[in-house]
């Protein structure tokens, strides 16, 4: 076992109580590290609790949140830390916003000891690149140690099932060769570092779904970890005591006791911390505006109005405050219907189609075997009459009929057709959360087989029934969408109206409305039909300790249905597969507050918009990475009609086998198309820039020559590389934007018309062309080939500002910072130099001089410093 960063080793012969366990620790110091000097102790407020976390020890510090988050004692002593040892576990977190553990800029530590830093705790990208390339730059570095001793175990062997992070892999091999390295247990991550192979494996504590101690072996104590992102790893730890301590710590860190212990309440990204104004804290939280979204559907109208009956969640605490109901529904009808529906979730509007057919949602009625409610019957009748084009409406119960009949014995059930007039009923047969949880568990077991044969693999996938369940969800959404497209209003419900109902309603709207297939529209859809209408994300994702039977992959199943539609209609969705994967991972990460809480009321009580960062604000900076290059907004079909044949559904290898080696294409087609599209945009922008410059030069020359003959002669003699030589009324050069005249040695005094310069085909000799009118030219010295070349240098520099040829993605296996590329990572081009970099090395945007009408383009750090003419990427 090793020791954490900045911790003093116990003196020789010290008592065992002075040594730190996983949850114990001595006081650590923090300060600016300059070469071999000792670290200067600062206020404990700035002790970091993990990557990107808010400073600990201050007002928001918690003593009982996790063992590794203990506040440091005020009796800290300055310690000397070897720089290489201090940075050994640093790396890049694949989830982008996480800062590199333990690195701060010196300016981030300014401000009041009891206030937040003025800048983000996220480390400088330049310094991160140097750290990863082992070309360390010590100036202005601040090394921040954890508030207690982190766990560091050496000699650990990692065994992964086809992991992309393993040191060696072969195509088709089921099990990779184990790699040896160091295992670090930090406040937020479990990090395995294989220095020899330059490989790192980062496991977020919140992504861990199960931790299991396997029987002892001759090599050590195996610790098997399964993640909610479908990563399965086994760490063989030499000592059983170390294995047990890490096992105990992971059980506590992977599932906090309360919501306040989640990482989102301590995470601060660069946007929210760069400024203390409240406007930065609400970024992303105002994405979904109820009034604007329903106004897009032309609601309110004569048939639909906003009700104020649930302003304080007094009728239904799992519904949002703003609810739209039929205009003819009175207050008594609304209250009576809510009392007759499970959890008070009465029928409300969630989508209004252009043909005035409405999509409404609710929960099951408390009908039992013979109970009825006149107010509920009147509510459904009001929904039917709101659509004047149809004589009936459809009620879709997403449960299997046998399940709905069984619920009658508990006083619930489904609508009695004898009591509801002009209504058609359908059962779509989507199984409950327990069946879905068991089905996914079987699929995961199949994916993690050590040496699967083809028959075992196919039988395992078929036996799990997962694809059948995905098909039933899609079938339910298609049924609702077809009914609405035909002009019939639909009411959807399941048991409580927050699982299968959310899946069906959201899929139906994606099929009907192209807006929900865009990046912004999809986010609005998730906010409206999942978050606002009370899908139990906290319970279904298992974010905190609770009943295991409440955990179920409902949202994962919905994302797979969207992915299936993407495969059938590749040009109909603005976002790509990687966008769905990021969304899936952050549902479980608890890094952002977006998916914390079970309903809108929970999020308001927790004040998430004030205390946490929104996921949408992070995704707003990743648009280029998540854009589908095949998306065509001009030829989108209005209504998607996917095939529900069994052979039309595919196995989502990118999600369930994401960490396998040898099963993914060498270069994803989406990435190749995106790179080609970006390259084309860059070339088109440069061509537009040069065309505009040439056009401007031509216009300046035409202004001095009014006769057509002169213009024709100018066009013949004009070289596109020449600059404007417009003269003022005194014969002086008004401007010399590219410095052509000065480089040619021409004097600034001459008369007549603008000078035209011709270049020979070999572009080495330059001569003064005859002008349409007499021109007096004087040169201070004879022209030389060097001067001729310099006359074109200014324009050449404009051309060289943008890379013409980009490096091919196929031959690049690792970034310049030594980070290897795999199937799960994205390769990025620098638009200035054309080289390939990883995500963290190209996190800067700059406006290139040779581009026209393009937003700031991604550039690497050296190019960014060249453009901004600064010594640091942080200072323009």
Average pLDDT over residues 104-133: 32
How far is 682 from 45, CA to CA, in rounded Å? 46
Q: Does the pLDDT of residue 555 top 80, yes or no?
A: yes
Q: Please, which pLDDT band fits residue 24 given cuts at 50, 70 and 90?
A: very low
Fold of the CATH domain 1-11+21-275: PH-domain like (2.30.29)
558's tokens: 């919905």
Can you give the pLDDT at residue 6? Answer: 31
Average pLDDT over residues 816-828: 80
Can you give the pLDDT at residue 178? Answer: 75
**CB burial class (10 A; 0-12, 13-18, 19+) of residue 135?**
exposed
Q: Does the pLDDT of residue 470 top 50, yes or no?
A: yes
Q: Is 497 annotated as a binding residue?
A: yes
Q: Please, which pLDDT band fits residue 534 given cuts at 50, 70 and 90?
A: very high
More confident of the two residues 820 and 271: 820
More confident of the two residues 775 and 526: 526
Q: Is 661 annotated as a binding residue?
A: no
Tokens 């295992």 sit at which residue?
183
Q: Does the pLDDT of residue 648 top 70, yes or no?
A: yes
More confident of the two residues 109 and 279: 279
Can you give the pLDDT at residue 677? Answer: 86
In 3D space, the residue among 207, 255, 92 whose CA is nearest the CA of residue 589 turns out to be 207
Average pLDDT over residues 91-112: 32
Q: Is 499 annotated as a binding residue?
A: yes
Can you give the pLDDT at residue 843? Answer: 82
Give the least confident one: 204-208, 453-457, 732-736, 832-836.
Answer: 732-736
- For 134-148, what is each residue's pLDDT tens digit? 332 323 333 333 333
- β-pairing, 857-859 with 844-846? antiparallel
- For 233-264, what is each residue's pLDDT tens digit? 999 999 999 999 999 999 999 989 999 999 99
637's tokens: 């079909």
Sheet holding 103-105, edge to edge: 30-33, 141-144, 103-105
353's tokens: 């189609």
Instruction: List, in sequence order, every beta strand (DSSP E) within 586-676.
Output: none
Q: Quick check: 827 and 808 in contact, CB under 8 A? A: no
Q: What is the mean pLDDT of the chain?
A: 74
> Which residues are within 8 A (CB) of 35 and not within 5 positions of it... i.e. 6 or more apart?
138
- For 153-176, what is each residue's pLDDT tens digit? 999 999 876 443 333 333 333 445
Average pLDDT over residues 825-838: 89
Q: Does the pLDDT of residue 489 top 90, yes or no?
A: yes
More confident of the two residues 473 and 40: 473
Query: In percent, how much of the chain has pLDDT > 70?
Result: 67
pTM: 0.75
Q: Which segments of 759-803 does DSSP mark as H helices, in order?
A: 785-790, 793-800
Can you give the pLDDT at residue 281? Answer: 52
Q: Does the pLDDT of residue 57 top 90, yes or no?
A: no
Q: Quick check: 99 and 51 in contact, CB under 8 A? A: yes
Question: What does the angle CA 593 – CA 106 – CA 123 come to, to the nearest 5 degrees?
Answer: 45
- For 193-233, what is each residue's pLDDT tens digit? 998 877 888 999 999 999 999 999 888 999 999 999 999 99
252's tokens: 């506590």
851's tokens: 């581009």
- For 678-734, what is each residue's pLDDT tens digit? 888 888 888 888 888 888 878 877 776 665 454 455 444 444 434 444 444 454 444
Give the least confident one: 197-201, 217-221, 662-666, 747-751.
Answer: 747-751
Can you give the pLDDT at residue 67? Answer: 32
Query: In percent, how much of the chain has pLDDT > 90?
Result: 48
Can you give the pLDDT at residue 34? Answer: 30
Q: Does the pLDDT of residue 763 top 50, yes or no?
A: no
Q: Does the pLDDT of residue 839 top 90, yes or no?
A: no
**CB burial class (10 A; 0-12, 13-18, 19+) of residue 490?**
buried
Can you give the pLDDT at residue 130? Answer: 33
For 290-656, CATH gives 3.90.190.10
Active site residues: 494
Q: Does the pLDDT of residue 17 top 80, yes or no?
A: no
Can you give the pLDDT at residue 33? Answer: 31
Would you put residue 623 in left (φ > 0), alpha (ψ -120 to 50) or beta? alpha
Tokens 């203990």 sit at which residue?
70
Burial 507-526 (b: 16+ CB within 10 A, else e): bbbbbbbbbbbbbebbbbbb
Q: Quick check: 60 and 266 in contact, CB under 8 A? A: yes
Q: Does the pLDDT of residue 177 top 70, yes or no?
A: no
Can you give the pLDDT at residue 605? Answer: 95
Fold of the CATH domain 665-694+792-876: Herpes Virus-1 (3.30.40)
Q: Is 694 annotated as a binding residue?
A: no
Q: Does the pLDDT of residue 760 top 70, yes or no?
A: no
Q: Please, which pLDDT band fits residue 668 given cuts at 50, 70 and 90?
A: confident
Q: Would you list the domain boundaries of the chain?
A: 1-11+21-275, 290-656, 665-694+792-876, 722-789
Give the least confident one: 346-360, 423-437, 620-634, 799-813.
Answer: 799-813
More confident of the two residues 784 and 771: 784
User: How many CB atoms are located within 10 Å of the residue 785 CB?
Assistant: 12
Q: Is 495 annotated as a binding residue?
A: yes
Average pLDDT over residues 561-572: 96
Average pLDDT over residues 855-873: 80
Q: Is 32 annotated as a binding residue?
A: no
Q: Which segments of 644-726 does DSSP mark as H helices, in order?
A: 653-656, 669-703, 708-717
Give the least confident one: 2-6, 290-294, 309-313.
Answer: 2-6
> Euclidean distance between the first and final Cα of the chain, in Å?
44
């Amino acid at each position: 076992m090793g020791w954490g960063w900045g911790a003093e080793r116990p003196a020789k012969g010290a008592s065992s109580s002075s040594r730190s366990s996983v949850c114990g620790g001595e006081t650590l110091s923090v300060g600016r590290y300059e070469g071999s000097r000792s670290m200067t102790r600062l206020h404990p407020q700035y002790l970091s609790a993990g990557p990107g976390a808010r400073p600990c020890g201050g007002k928001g510090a918690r003593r009982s949140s996790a063992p590794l988050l203990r506040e440091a004692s005020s009796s800290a002593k300055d310690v000397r830390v070897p720089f290489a040892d201090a940075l050994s576990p640093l790396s890049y977190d694949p989830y982008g916003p996480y800062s590199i553990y333990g690195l701060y800029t010196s300016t981030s530590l300014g401000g009041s000891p009891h206030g937040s830093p003025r800048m983000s705790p996220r480390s400088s990208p330049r310094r991160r690149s140097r750290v990863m390339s082992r070309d360390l730059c010590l100036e202005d570095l601040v090394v921040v140690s954890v508030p207690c001793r982190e766990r560091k175990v050496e000699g650990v062997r990692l065994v992964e099932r086809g992991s992309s992070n393993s040191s060696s892999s072969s195509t088709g091999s089921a099990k990779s060769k184990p790699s040896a390295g160091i295992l670090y247990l930090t406040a937020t991550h479990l990090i395995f570092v294989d220095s020899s192979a330059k490989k790192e494996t980062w496991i977020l504590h919140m992504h861990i779904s199960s931790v299991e101690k396997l029987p002892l072996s001759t090599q050590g104590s195996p610790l098997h970890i399964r993640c909610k992102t479908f990563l399965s790893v086994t760490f063989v730890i030499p000592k059983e005591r170390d294995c047990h301590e890490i096992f105990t710590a992971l059980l506590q860190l992977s599932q906090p006791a309360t919501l306040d212990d989640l990482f989102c309440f301590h995470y601060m990204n660069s946007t929210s911390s760069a400024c203390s104004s409240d406007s930065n804290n609400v970024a992303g939280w105002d994405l979904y505006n109820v009034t604007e979204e329903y106004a897009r559907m032309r609601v309110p109208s004569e048939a639909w109005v906003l009700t104020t009956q649930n302003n304080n969640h007094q009728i239904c605490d799992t519904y949002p405050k703003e609810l739209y109901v039929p205009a003819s529904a009175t207050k008594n009808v609304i209250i009576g219907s809510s009392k007759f529906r499970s959890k008070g979730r009465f029928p409300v509007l969630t989508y209004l189609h252009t043909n005035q057919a409405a999509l409404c949602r609710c929960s099951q009625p408390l009908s039992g075997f013979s109970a009825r409610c006149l107010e509920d019957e009147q509510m459904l009748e009001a929904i039917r009459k709101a659509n004047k084009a149809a004589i009936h409406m459809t009620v879709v119960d997403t449960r299997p009929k046998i399940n709905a009949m069984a619920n009658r014995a508990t006083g619930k059930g489904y609508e009695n057709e004898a009591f509801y007039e002009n209504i058609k009923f359908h059962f779509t047969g989507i199984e409950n959360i327990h069946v879905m949880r068991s089905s996914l568990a079987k699929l995961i077991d199949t994916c993690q087989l050590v040496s699967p044969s083809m028959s075992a693999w196919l039988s395992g996938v078929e036996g799990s029934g997962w694809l059948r369940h995905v098909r039933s969800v899609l079938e339910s959404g298609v049924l609702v969408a077809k009914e609405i497209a035909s002009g019939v209003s639909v009411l959807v419900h399941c048991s409580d109206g927050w699982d299968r109902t959310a899946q069906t309603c959201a899929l139906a709207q994606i099929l009907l409305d192209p807006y929900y297939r865009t990046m912004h529209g999809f986010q609005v859809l998730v906010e409206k039909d999942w978050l606002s209408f009370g899908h139990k994300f906290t319970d279904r994702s298992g974010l905190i300790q609770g009943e295991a039977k409440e955990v179920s992959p409902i949202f994962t199943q919905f994302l797979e249905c969207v992915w299936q539609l993407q495969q059938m209609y590749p040009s109909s969705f603005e976002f790509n597969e990687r966008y769905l994967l990021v969304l899936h991972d952050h549902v479980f990460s608890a890094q952002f507050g977006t998916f914390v809480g079970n309903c809108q009321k929970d999020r308001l009580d927790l004040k998430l918009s004030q205390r946490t960062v929104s996921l949408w604000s992070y995704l707003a900076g990743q648009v280029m990475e998540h854009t589908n290059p095949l998306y065509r907004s001009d030829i989108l079909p209005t209504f998607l009609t996917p095939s529900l044949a069994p052979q039309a559904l595919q196995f989502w290898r990118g999600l369930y086998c994401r960490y396998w080696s040898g099963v993914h294409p060498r270069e994803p087609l989406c990435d190749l198309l995106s790179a080609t599209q970006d390259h084309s945009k860059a070339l088109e922008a440069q061509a537009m820039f040069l065309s505009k410059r040439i056009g401007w030069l031509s216009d300046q020359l035409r202004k001095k020559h009014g006769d057509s003959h002169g213009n024709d002669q100018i066009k013949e003699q004009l070289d596109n590389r020449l600059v404007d030589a417009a003269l003022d009324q005194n014969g002086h050069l008004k401007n010399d934007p590219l410095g052509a005249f000065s480089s040619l040695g021409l004097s600034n005094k001459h008369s007549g018309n603008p000078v035209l310069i011709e270049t020979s085909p070999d572009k080495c000799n330059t001569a003064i062309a005859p002008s349409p009118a007499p021109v007096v030219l004087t040169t201070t010295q004879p022209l030389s080939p060097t001067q001729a070349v310099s006359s074109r240098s200014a324009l050449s520099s404009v051309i060289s500002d943008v890379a013409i040829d980009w490096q091919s993605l196929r031959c690049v296996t690792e970034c310049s910072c030594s980070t290897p590329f795999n199937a799960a990572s994205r390769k990025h081009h620098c638009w200035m130099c054309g080289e390939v970099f990883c995500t963290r090395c190209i996190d800067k945007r700059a406006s290139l001089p040779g581009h026209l009408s393009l937003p700031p383009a991604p550039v690497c750090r050296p190019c960014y410093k060249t453009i901004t003419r600064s010594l640091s990427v942080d200072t323009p």
